[in-house]
A = this chain, B = another copy of it.
């Protein structure tokens, strides 16, 4: 079979995924719902999420438009050099990347705001139907994201036949993800923190109490942050890993004349989606089964299927077993890193117990112990990524020049192969979280709340694992992108007839210069996002106070007193959009600055510093945040004094600190790293020819 056939197969499997997603969508929609209150609140959530998304996409469309024009003029090389077709293709690929990402996010929101209602109502009939509604809702998102990334990459590659255009597509996906993740992250935590602060802490009313004017915004936030944002993030990583692998595969194939490496990338990616489809279809839970186990076992099933099918394909199509090995190493390390993050955030393990106990001495100890364990949690993941990269490299090195870096990129593809399953699990979380809120607001009673609580808690546990996984995958992907960057620079250098790169020497002061500045960027980026949440939450707290003070009967729970939910949604929306731009632009401008000052060597260092410190901070923040969240829940379930105790108050402080850590800054860093890597690759020719030094 030739490469073209594999591209066709990829497209076919992408469409199978879409059809499956459509079936799941219908299935979810068909589930019964009757409660008027839930329907009403669910409608508000849906409306709020749509409003936010539309506003956000309008702003991003303007940004993307400007970027597309710049790409048209300057990339891959200035348009006045005459090769304008390349520039047009690049700009179109970029736009396609943003549009695909936006559509996937839109579909995710669409289904999530139906599935939450269904899961809430289904909980009346037990854990099984409720779980299935949540999980299948999440799976729609999973299928949509992976299907459209595979379709997009295959289509762009088939049409343009150019790997550089793929980087344009990937950059489109990334730039949208950067803002979607950051914007959604700011929105969700603004609402969450403000609702908790005034509701739970000041007034002592329960979470999800409909009196709280921010409660709908909080539920909207789960959708726009965790569903749309996380979807955009993993869409981005998935596309970037394929793009990086294809850039290198294309270069290798051009040398050998055969298209075997490109074929392999498409074949493995298609199998990954297929395995996820099977895994999702097979997911089930017993009548009294554990939702956490159900989610995890689907992941393991998918992993196993992927391993077997890729081995079969490798045998059948005579692919290299070495590259298969690299791919499997990536996959296994991804699972191991997920398990390691689970250790640091699971409420049956030592770290959560330690933090809960420390909370008895006051909030400072909650914070200190959580930060400490978060910092410790960095080690296993960093070792895992380091070992995966080294093993993939060493496995493929004997195959010849260039194969070693290609091996690393295939490890990233392997790690991301089960991403359809990962997104399904991940989107399940906010759906059942919302379902819990709806059950509370619809007065479905304590038995139903117990069920939704259990589903929600499983969502939290799995979320920690998938976040660890997402960060690790991004880590490996950007290492591969570093290789892609070098490959792009060398192609450009060959065309220009100047000396290419053999590597980035740390002893070279330009590399070191870039390294130090690159390392500072994720710190600044996350600080800007957290300050954005902080500022925005302060505005919203003011608004909640105003409503409680001016709407008669609201505080005491008069059923006729209706809070103005939309005001809170508006504040969260406007604030998020206002705060997301500067942080994203800062990262891009810093890249341009370093590149035009120090050239490609400085950029090599810059990317490296950015990856290293980005991984460090993202892992630290995500895991600390997850740990605090679960420590609070652990105390609430009756340990160390239980609800209302001093330990609980401290644990709530920890959780509040953790909120922007784990849902705003931590997971946005991923995207920041990818964007910066792609900007560098795209501008490699300019940095090579136009830098100050």
- A608 CB, nearest partner CB in chain B, Å: 5
Is A517's CB within 8 Å of the partner chain B?
yes
A499-542 CB mask vs B (1 if < 8 Å, else 0) is 00011111111111111110110011011101101100110010
B509 touches A375 (CB 8 A): no
**What is the chain B residue whose CB lies nearest that of A506?**
B504
B613 touches A523 (CB 8 A): no
**What is the chain B residue whose CB lies nearest that of A385?**
B516
A520: which of B394, B505, B517, B616 is its contact (CB, 8 Å)? B616
- In the assembled complex, which residues on chain B have CB atoms less than 8 Å from the CB atom of A479? 512
Alpha-carbon separation in the docked complex, A512 to B392 (Å): 13
Is A612's CB within 8 Å of the partner chain B?
yes
A509 touches B656 (CB 8 A): no
A506 touches B511 (CB 8 A): yes
A507 touches B510 (CB 8 A): no
Q: Tell whether A482 pairs with B507 under 8 Å between CB atoms, given A516-B382, A612-B609, A613-B519.
A: yes
Q: Tell whether A531 pairs with B612 under 8 Å between CB atoms, given A482-B506, A505-B503, A523-B620.
A: no
Judged by DSSP, the binding face of A is helix
A373-391 CB mask vs B (1 if < 8 Å, else 0) is 1111011001101110110
- A642 CB, nearest partner CB in chain B, Å: 20
Is A393's CB within 8 Å of the partner chain B?
yes
Is A420's CB within 8 Å of the partner chain B?
no
A656: which of B362, B369, B387, B510 is its contact (CB, 8 Å)? B362
A513: which of B386, B502, B511, B538 is its contact (CB, 8 Å)? B386
**What is the chain B residue whose CB lies nearest that of A201?**
B362
Cβ contacts A to B, 26 pairs, < 8 Å: A362-B656, A363-B653, A364-B656, A364-B657, A365-B656, A367-B367, A367-B653, A368-B657, A369-B531, A375-B524, A375-B526, A375-B527, A376-B527, A378-B523, A378-B524, A382-B517, A386-B513, A386-B516, A387-B513, A390-B509, A390-B510, A390-B512, A503-B506, A503-B508, A506-B605, A519-B613
A372: which of B197, B375, B530 is its contact (CB, 8 Å)? B530
Alpha-carbon separation in the docked complex, A514 to B612 (Å): 11
- In the assembled complex, which residues on chain B have CB atoms less than 8 Å from the CB atom of A459? none
- In the assembled complex, which residues on chain B have CB atoms less than 8 Å from the CB atom of A612? 515-516, 519, 609, 612-613
Q: Tell whether A512 pairs with B386 under 8 Å between CB atoms, given A361-B541, A362-B201, A530-B371.
A: yes
Is A68's CB within 8 Å of the partner chain B?
no
Is A604's CB within 8 Å of the partner chain B?
yes
A534 touches B653 (CB 8 A): no
- In the assembled complex, which residues on chain B have CB atoms less than 8 Å from the CB atom of A197? 361-362
Is A486's CB within 8 Å of the partner chain B?
yes
What is the size, in residues, of chain A's interface with B at 8 Å between Cβ atoms?
A: 80
Q: Tell whether A660 pairs with B506 under 8 Å between CB atoms, given A523-B378, A526-B375, A653-B363.
A: no
Alpha-carbon separation in the docked complex, A634 to B288 (Å): 56
Alpha-carbon separation in the docked complex, A375 to B511 (Å): 23
B378 touches A534 (CB 8 A): no
- In the assembled complex, which residues on chain B have CB atoms less than 8 Å from the CB atom of A534? 358, 365, 368-369, 372
Alpha-carbon separation in the docked complex, A615 to B609 (Å): 12
B527 touches A373 (CB 8 A): yes
- In the assembled complex, which residues on chain B have CB atoms less than 8 Å from the CB atom of A541? 361
- In the assembled complex, which residues on chain B have CB atoms less than 8 Å from the CB atom of A339? none
Is A215's CB within 8 Å of the partner chain B?
no
Is A405's CB within 8 Å of the partner chain B?
yes
B387 touches A530 (CB 8 A): no
Known: A361-B541, A368-B657, A382-B516. 13 other contacts (CB 8 A): A364-B653, A368-B534, A369-B534, A371-B530, A371-B657, A374-B527, A376-B527, A379-B524, A383-B520, A385-B516, A482-B507, A505-B505, A519-B613
A613: which of B362, B393, B503, B613 is its contact (CB, 8 Å)? B613
Is A404's CB within 8 Å of the partner chain B?
yes
A363 touches B365 (CB 8 A): no
